[in-house]
Amino acid sequence: MRKGGGGIGMIVLLVAVLIVLLLVARAWSNMAPEALQVTQPGSDFSTDDFVDDEADYNSPGHLPNLQEMNQRTSQHEEDVRKAMEQTN
């Protein structure tokens, strides 16, 4: 009986680790712009820099940046406050 691991098993393990690392790197490169914006909200970075200017921004595929979401939330808060005042 042989003691210890075989060379083939170690190669298969290294190939599996390499594949996982490549998948993680690809996922990270796809998420990097949004992650950078979240970690540095005051920066001038915007995901709209990577979006076609002639695209329809009202389509379901458009994701607003953090400043745009903050503006929409503030507007919604103001609308709700006005509606509450009208009901009282």
Domain limits, the chain: 1-45, 59-88
Q: Of 38, 42, 39, 43, nearest to 63 (Cα)?
A: 38
pTM for the model: 0.37
Both structure tokens of 71? 């503006």
Give the Cα separation of 34 and 27 in Å (integer). Answer: 12
pLDDT at residue number 12: 92
Residue 57: strand, helix, or coil? coil
pLDDT at residue number 3: 64
Residue 47 has pLDDT above 70, yes or no: no
